Chains A and B, each alone.
Chain A
Amino acid sequence: GAVVSQHPSRVICKSGTSVKIECRSLDFQATTMFWYRQFPKQSLMLMATSNEGSKATYEQGVEKDKFLINHASLTLSTLTVTSAHPEDSSFYICSATPHSGQPQHFGDGTRLSIL
């Protein structure tokens, strides 16, 4: 079945650091990938839609200059949290699907802790 790999799974770093998270579709091509964030005891919230070869589409309230998305190939999207602060600490998850309307497959998630 479709597999999505996300890396790293855990990041702990100091305030002000920029953190890059990778999302790869391992056995299919994905023109679109999605980035979510989940705070403790909250639901998954879509942050942005990553589009291969074009700009990402950000949800309302998500700063595009803070969360940089690059979808340079059909199997890789990256999310960079720039100048991260403690309030950015969260669980970040990506997803992708080989076909429209079919279930999304999620990466393992990245737990980000900013000290």
Chain B
Amino acid sequence: RKEVEQDPGPFNVPEGATVAFNCTYSNSASQSFFWYRQDCRKEPKLLMSVYSSGNEDGRFTAQLNRASQYISLLIRDSKLSDSATYLCVVNHSGAGSYQLTFGKGTKLSVIP
């Protein structure tokens, strides 16, 4: 089983749509979770951290379900500029470790 799994997509959605991505992780001892976005031929940029209680940042909502070991990202009112690959990232070795494990990413295309 892969450590961090995501649906690769692509998700093609019209502007204004709501879209959700899920991600599962295999290590139950994982402590920190993040969503990054990566534009084509660019470095990943942090979108948001994911907290146990769930958190929201504008049009973006992240949820964590430790029991089921999955993380979700919801994007409301999609914009053309949201088109990118969204990476689910897990700190796999616990709070004392810096190392991250990346999912392969989910590609989103927002269509006019």
- Which residues of A lie under 8 Å from residue B99 when comparing CB positions? 34, 46, 49
Tally of B interface residues using CB under 8 Å: 24
Q: Taking the nearest CB of chain A, how far is it from the CB of B53, in angstroms?
A: 17
Tally of A interface residues using CB under 8 Å: 22
Listed in ascending order, the chain B residues whose CB lies under 8 Å from chain A are: 31-32, 34, 41-46, 49, 87, 89, 91, 95-105
Q: Is the CB of A43 within 8 A of B42?
A: no
Residue of A with least CB distance to B44: A106
- Which residues of A lie under 8 Å from residue B91 when comparing CB positions? 101
- Which residues of A lie under 8 Å from residue B103 when comparing CB positions? 43
Cβ of A64 within 8 Å of any chain B Cβ, yes or no, is no
- Which residues of B lie under 8 Å from residue A109 when comparing CB positions? 42-43
Q: Is the CB of B43 within 8 A of A93?
A: yes
Listed in ascending order, the chain A residues whose CB lies under 8 Å from chain B are: 32, 34, 42-44, 46, 49, 91, 93, 95, 97, 100-109, 111
CA distance A91 to B38 in the complex (A): 13
Say what secondary structure dominates the interface of chain B. Answer: loop
- Which residues of A lie under 8 Å from residue B42 when comparing CB positions? 108-109
Q: Is the CB of A100 within 8 A of B102?
A: no
Q: Is the CB of A44 within 8 A of B102?
A: yes
- Contact partner of B46 (CB less than 8 A), chosen from A34, A103, A108, A111, is A103
Q: Is the CB of A97 within 8 A of B98?
A: yes
- Which residues of A lie under 8 Å from residue B95 when comparing CB positions? 100-101
In this complex, the member of B31, B43, B97 whose beta carbon has the largest number of chain A beta carbons within 10 angstroms is: B43
A–B Cβ pairs within 8 angstroms, 27 of them: A34-B99, A34-B100, A42-B104, A43-B87, A43-B102, A43-B104, A43-B105, A44-B87, A44-B102, A46-B99, A46-B100, A46-B101, A46-B102, A49-B98, A93-B43, A97-B98, A100-B95, A100-B96, A100-B97, A101-B31, A101-B32, A101-B91, A101-B95, A102-B32, A104-B46, A104-B89, A108-B43
- Contact partner of A103 (CB less than 8 A), chosen from B31, B34, B102, is B34
Residue of B with least CB distance to A36: B102
Q: Is the CB of A105 within 8 A of B46?
A: yes
